[in-house]
Amino acid sequence: MSEYKYVRPADIEKESMRIIEAELAERRIRIPAEHLTVVKRVIHTTADFDYGENLKFTEQAVQRSIAALQEGGKVFITDTNMALSGISKPSLAKLDAQAACYMADPAIMKKAKEEGTTRAYASMRRGASEHPDAIFVSGNAPTALIALSEMIREGLRPSLVIAVPVGFVNVVESKQEVFELCAENNIPAIAAFGRKGGSNVAASICNALLYSAAGTVDPMKRGWQK
C-alpha cells in the first residue's frame, strides 16, 4: 500500500498554480499578466483549461476591481447561496467588505411570484436598490444578468459584474449582452463566454480579486501554513 507524505495546504496550492501556469504555456494559451491570477484561480477550482480562453475581461476590469475593493466597504451580491458560501470571509473582513444573497428571503420569493419573474431577477433588483455600486455576481441564473442589463440601461453603474452562469437556456445570450453593455458604459466586467460557468467559478473569481486586493495571493499569507 502506498504511503502518502503530508503536504501543507499552502504547498499544495502553490504547486497546483505552478502546474496550471506550465500547462497553459504548453497549450500555448497566452493570458495577459493582469488576468492571470483570476484565470489560474478558476482553473484551480474546475481543472478546466477552457477557462484560459473563454474568460473575457473588459478593459482594466481586474485593476479597477482591486482598486475598488481596496477602498473598503464594497458589497458582493450573489445569485446563489452556494456562491456566497464560497467567498472568503477572512478576505472580506480584511477589506471591510461584505457579501449577501437574497435568494432565500421570503420577501423576494413573494415578489418574484407576484411579478411572474424569478428569485434571481428579484434579488438583483433588490441588491441594486440597496447597494447600487455593489459587485454583482451571477454563477447560476441568466435572469440575474437580464435584470442587470435592464438596470444598466436605466443608469445602474456597478463596481463590477461577474457573469458566469452555467446552462443551456439564455445563458450564452445573457452573458454576451451584459458584457457588451458593461463595455459600452465603462463598467468593469468578467464573463465566461459560452455555456460553462457555475457558482464555484463565480466564487473563485471573487476570491482571486479579494486575495489580490488584500495582498494574500500567496496562500502562506492566508494562514494555510499548517
Over residues 45-59, the pLDDT tens digits come to 999 999 999 999 999
Confidence at residue 5, expressed as pLDDT on a 0 to 100 scale:
58
Could you report the per-residue pLDDT of 27-49, keeping only the tens digit for each? 999 999 999 999 999 999 999 99
Residue 39 · residue 52 · CB < 8 Å: yes
Q: What is the mean pLDDT of residues 10-23?
A: 90
Residue 209 · residue 66 · CB < 8 Å: yes
Q: Is-catalytic flag, 44?
A: yes
Q: How far apart are CA 170 and CA 152, in angstroms?
A: 18
Domain 9-218, what architecture? 3-Layer(aba) Sandwich (3.40)
Phi/psi for 163 (5° steps) reads: -115, 90
In this prediction, residue 223 has a pLDDT band, given cuts at 50, 70 and 90, of low
Confidence at residue 1, expressed as pLDDT on a 0 to 100 scale:
45
Catalytic residue among 14, 35, 44, 64: 44
Confidence at residue 84, expressed as pLDDT on a 0 to 100 scale:
97
Q: How far apart are CA 197 and CA 93, in angstroms?
A: 26
SS (H, E, C) the chain: CCCCCCCCHHHHHHHHHHHHHHHHHHCCCCCCHHHHHHHHHHHHHHCCCCHHHHEEECCCHHHHHHHHHHHCCCEEEECCHHHHHHCCHHHHHHCCCEEECCCCCHHHHHHHHHHCCCHHHHHHHHHHHHCCCCEEEECCCHHHHHHHHHHHHHCCCCCEEEECCCCCCCHHHHHHHHHHHHHHCCCCEEEECCCCCCHHHHHHHHHHHHHHHHCCCCHHHHCCCC
Q: What is the mean pLDDT of residues 171-178?
A: 97
Q: What is the mean pLDDT of residues 165-192?
A: 97
Selected residue with higher pLDDT from 220 and 37: 37
Confidence at residue 225, expressed as pLDDT on a 0 to 100 scale:
44
Q: What is the mean pLDDT of residues 9-13?
A: 81
Residue spans of the domains in the chain: they are 9-218
In terms of DSSP bridges, do strands 135-138 and 98-100 run parallel, antiparallel, or are they unpaired? unpaired
